[in-house]
Each structure stands twice: as structure tokens, then as C-alpha cells.
Amino acid sequence: MMYRKPDLSFRLWAVTVMLLLPQGLFGVSPEKGRSVALGVVQSPKGVGFCADFYRDATSFRSLALTADLIDILDGSASTPGVKMTYYLNMVLKDWSEGKYAFYAGPGLMAGYVRDLSNHLGFAGGVSGDIGFRALCLKGITVSVEFQVDFALQFKSRYTDMSLYRAGYSHSYLPYLRIQYSF
């Protein structure tokens, strides 16, 4: 049996899983003993599901799986892509004992996404986000954040690779996240 080198999408998936496995993934959130927040994320760029895993009051990990809606809402394309993002966010400033927080962090992005040229293809790269979080009701968190992706995208049967331009050209569009903490 001949050894086959793993493709790039498998490598990106494996790196993402390895980042999620270290000790300390689950910790304590700013809201007294809650360690996981699950919810939805919506934006003109995409809609999907998100999860935050709190380590302590100063950092948390964010994972989101979204349908990539670039060029879908304006009608220039009909098939959405799929995108997964992972961030290690650090709380930069908080008020009222963590009820309001300003955060930012680096991350990874991988998916089968549409670029500005209306072509779907596999993409992967580094990402970053910055946002503001508010604990509204008992266990309900609402966040507004901005994300930027710097990634490479494979097109036309993996023979053409280019910069994923939609990742940085649409970074001015905010994401709204609504989550419940467990």
C-alpha cells in the first residue's frame, strides 16, 4: 500500500482540532461558574452557530461554523459556502465586574468559501477579531464583533491558488452573536 500525503483541508482540520484539545479548554466564565456559551451568529457575511469556551475572566476561545453568504444576499450567487473560525480572545477591558467587555484575539479560518470572483474553493489562513460583549439577562450574552481573514484559496481543481480577498475586503461588516452560558 502506497503512502499518500494528506491534503491541505485535512491538515487545516487537524491543526484546528489540536488547538482545541489542550488542558484548560474549559474554565470559569465571568458569570460565576459558567464555562461554555452556545448560540447563533448572524451577519451580512454569514449565519451559523457559535460557541465560547471560557478559561478564566481574562480569556476565552471562540469557535463558529457559518454559512458563507458573500454575494448571496445581493443575488449575484446562489450557492453559499461553509466557513469555520477559531479564536483565542483576550479581554482587553471590562466594566461592572465583567458584565461588559471589550476583547480581541488571533485565530484560524478554514472553509469552502466564495471569493469576490464568484468562485467557490477551499481556503485556509489566519484570522483576527475584535468585539464588545454584554451580559444582558441571566446567562444571555450579546456580542458585536468584526473579523478579518488573511487566507489562501484554491480554485479550479486545486491548480490555481490566490489570496482570499473577501476575507479582508468585507471586514467592515459586523457579526452579531447571541449566546446562552451553561
Domain assignment of residue 112, given as a range: 8-16+24-181
Does 106 fall in a domain? yes
Q: Is residue 116 part of a domain?
A: yes
The pLDDT of residue 7 is 56
Closest to 103 measured CA to CA, from 49, 41, 61, 47 = 61
CATH of the domain at 152: 2.40.160.20
Let me know if residue 56 belongs to a domain: yes
Q: Specify the residue for cell string 479581554.
A: 91
Domain-located, residue 149: yes
The two counts, helices (H) then strands (E), for the chain are 2, 9
**Polymer length in residues for the chain:** 182
What is the pLDDT at residue 6? 53
User: How many angstroms separate the first and last alpha carbons of the chain?
Assistant: 47
In a domain, 94, yes or no: yes
Please tell me the pTM assigned to this model.
0.76
Number of structural domains (the chain) is 1
Q: Is residue 1 included in any domain, yes or no?
A: no
Torsion of CA 150, 154, 160, 163, to 10 degrees: -10
Mean pLDDT across the chain: 80
In a domain? residue 2: no
Q: What is the pLDDT of residues 17-39, one digit of tens each?
A: 545 444 334 333 444 556 888 99
Residue 121 has a pLDDT of 85
Q: How confident is the model at residue 86 (pLDDT cuts 50, 70, 90)?
A: very high
The C-alpha atoms of residue 146 and residue 32 are separated, in whole angstroms, by 27
Largest CA distance in the chain: 62
Confidence band, pLDDT 50/70/90 cuts, at residue 58: confident
SS3 17: helix
